[in-house]
Amino acid sequence: MKEPKHEHHEPHVETMGEEFTELPDQEGPQAKSKRTPEQVEAHWLKHVYKGDVPQLTWRAIIMGAFLGAFMSLSNIYVGLKTGWGLGVAITACILSYAICRIMQALMPRMSEFTILENTCMQTTASSAGYSTGGTMTSAIAAYLLVTGHHIGWMPLTLWTVFLSGLGCCMSIPMKRQMINVEQLKFPSGIAAAEVLTSLHTKGADAADKAKSLGIAGALGGIVAWLRDAGIPQALALPGMLKIPASIGGYPLEKLTISVELSTIMVGAGAIIGWKVGWSMLLGACINYGVLAPWMADIGAINPEKLGYREIVRWSTWTGASLMATSGLFMFALQWRTVLRALSGVTAIFSTQASKVEDKLAAIEVPSSWFLTGLAVSGLGCMGVLYFTFGTSWWMGFVAVAATFLLSIVACRATGETDTTPIGAMGKITQLTFGVLAPADISTNLMTASVTAGAAGTSADLLTSLKTGYILGANPRKQFLAQLLGIFAGLVVVVPAFYILVPTADVLGTDKWPAPS
């Protein structure tokens, strides 16, 4: 079906996320408070949607795939080092804009990148760089530690595709209810829209941001090269700066307390913020500076082998317990969000099945895509669970069904708070299968991976769709951009994981702590 052209207006940054759902002013505030979902969508279609602006173009997809694949490598590296996954959408926006400006200077006949092309580009980049690598540094790494051997590249490839596809498909029925009707904020989506608007209206600001990214990237690359490239010792930077002191007779080096010469932690600290940074520092000081020497004294940790791996073997139990109880407690504190999410399940599907004429039918992702995608990706996940990890079919079905409900909760939490409780969702699945399949470690790990992976991908896509909703993008084209991004990331993250982690011995070491 050919899309109709509609008049549109450029978004005002100061009112993003609010102005686009209002009815015309002459109808008054009382009329606005009584607007129906159909009126909201009709207003967006008429005043915001930019059906005549290029969006899903080859250059947008290629640029997004290239940047996303490149950033997926950094996310695997950061994930193995810290256990975190860092969003790449805003970075990709700035980099792509800068690259396109350079290309335009070299090729004057090249048309300017539109704001909606950049929207599709960041959707593809986010999918490739963020959605595909999370399971590698968590569940797959944990499985390798438990079993001592890698799974084959084909099962790993299929697992990544089906898991990411499941998350994409699960977001389809949520989008119209959470974004169009309820107008959940999805703050990171609004921030990305602000960045894109700024890039396309203030060229000087865009150049400054790109320059800052370039300088920081060059600095990080130089430091990593001097540390890890095997250059002559006279020119190389040490990985760590030793502190000549001891605690309880144990050198700080044995307690793994030193200064790491890496820009990764500096950058991560700038992103996670002051409160989280100090919390992690406090935990590290207590664990490695107080508990580790105490446990070595009483024999709980072998003092002859004192080092990172021996300390973590002991501290994993206390650390995991703290993380699990904290995550579940924070989840319990969000009980209102949970109730709203579960009570909104009916509304999610009633929106899809409404008998009122659907004016967005030509541009929204159809429910048939949801049903087909859910069947293919859900059965695919169940198949890999059964044939690779030995999980029974009915347990695989329970995992996929539970994942859908928990993804709704996770996505609503993302929309309201900008925090996706992936860890808490995975722990709920682990607790469930701890009862259903006691002592089956593989099933426990990989069913939790289904929940965490799909919930993270769903929240990532909805955040990108929020950006597109504000800027007037076509959601169906954004969905396709997300799917294409999965394959772009896949061709990089699977071989990269095997190269970076050739055997289980390298995990749980100073090089690859792999805390997730």
Position with higher pLDDT, 304 vs 396:
396
Position with higher pLDDT, 26 vs 171:
171
Residue 291 scores a pLDDT above 50: yes
Looking at residue 264, its pLDDT comes to 72
Q: Whole-angstrom Cα distance, residue 71 to residue 61?
A: 15
Looking at residue 168, its pLDDT comes to 93
Looking at residue 202, its pLDDT comes to 65
Q: Count CA within 13 A, CB hemisphere, residue 76.
A: 26
Q: Which of 31, 28, 53 is nearest to 40 (CA)?
A: 31
Looking at residue 345, its pLDDT comes to 56
* 193, 411, 454 from 485: Cα distances, Å: 19, 20, 15
- DSSP three-state, residue 261: coil
Q: Whole-angstrom Cα distance, residue 333 to residue 23?
A: 35
pLDDT exceeding 90 applies to what percent of the chain? 23
Taking residues 138-155, report their average pLDDT: 89
Residue 80 scores a pLDDT above 50: yes
* 239, 241, 511, 512 from 231: Cα distances, Å: 13, 18, 18, 21
Position with higher pLDDT, 171 vs 217:
171
Q: How many CB atoms lie within 10 A of CB 265?
A: 15
CA dihedral (133, 480, 421, 138) in degrees, to 10, reads: -10
Looking at residue 8, its pLDDT comes to 47
Looking at residue 28, its pLDDT comes to 46
DSSP lists the bridge partners of residue 375 as none
Position with higher pLDDT, 258 vs 309:
258
Any idea which of 62-71, 318-327, 350-359, 368-377 has the lowest mean pLDDT?
350-359
Could you say which DSSP state residue 26 is in? G
Residue 177 scores a pLDDT above 90: no
Q: pLDDT digits over 33-77, tens only?
A: 567 778 888 889 888 999 889 999 999 999 999 988 888 888 888
Position with higher pLDDT, 41 vs 374:
374
Taking residues 236-248, report their average pLDDT: 81
Strands, E assignment, 307-402: none
Task: State the alpha helices, DSSP H only, in 83-152.
Answer: 89-106, 115-126, 134-135, 141-147
The residues, any chain, with a CB within 8 Å of residue 157's CB and separated by 6 or more, are: 490, 494
Q: Whole-angstrom Cα distance, residue 305 to residue 266?
A: 30
Taking residues 167-180, report their average pLDDT: 89
CA dihedral (104, 110, 111, 117) in degrees, to 10, reads: -80
Query: What is the residue-averaged pLDDT of the chain?
Result: 80
Q: Whole-angstrom Cα distance, residue 516 to residue 505?
A: 16
Q: Are 214 and 381 in contact (CB under 8 A)?
A: no
Q: Which of 463, 407, 455 is nearest to 184 (CA)?
A: 463
Taking residues 133-145, report their average pLDDT: 84
Taking residues 288-315, report their average pLDDT: 86
Q: Are 63 and 121 in contact (CB under 8 A)?
A: yes
Could you say which DSSP state residue 10 is in? P
pLDDT band at 479 (very low <50, low <70, confident <90, very high): very high
pLDDT band at 327 (very low <50, low <70, confident <90, very high): low
Q: Which of 131, 184, 225, 210 is nearest to 409 (CA)?
A: 184
pLDDT band at 203 (very low <50, low <70, confident <90, very high): low
Looking at residue 331, its pLDDT comes to 60
Give residue limits of the domains in the chain.
58-223+332-506, 234-315
The residues, any chain, with a CB within 8 Å of residue 298's CB and separated by 6 or more, are: none
Looking at residue 271, its pLDDT comes to 64
Residue 275 scores a pLDDT above 50: yes
CA 193-132-515 angle, 5° bins: 105
The alpha carbon of residue 239 and the mean position of all alpha carbons in its chain are separated, in whole angstroms, by: 29
Looking at residue 195, its pLDDT comes to 83
Residue 299 scores a pLDDT above 80: yes
Position with higher pLDDT, 94 vs 482:
482
SS (H, E, C) 165-226: HHHHHHCHHHHHHHHHHCCCCCHHHHHHHHHHHHHHHCHHHHHHHHHHHHHHHHHHHHHHHH
Residue corresponding to tokens 């200077």: 105
Q: What is the pTM of this model?
A: 0.77
Q: Which of 211, 231, 178, 216 is nearest to 37 (CA)?
A: 178
The residues, any chain, with a CB within 8 Å of residue 102's CB and separated by 6 or more, are: none
Taking residues 492-501, report their average pLDDT: 92
Residue 4 scores a pLDDT above 50: no
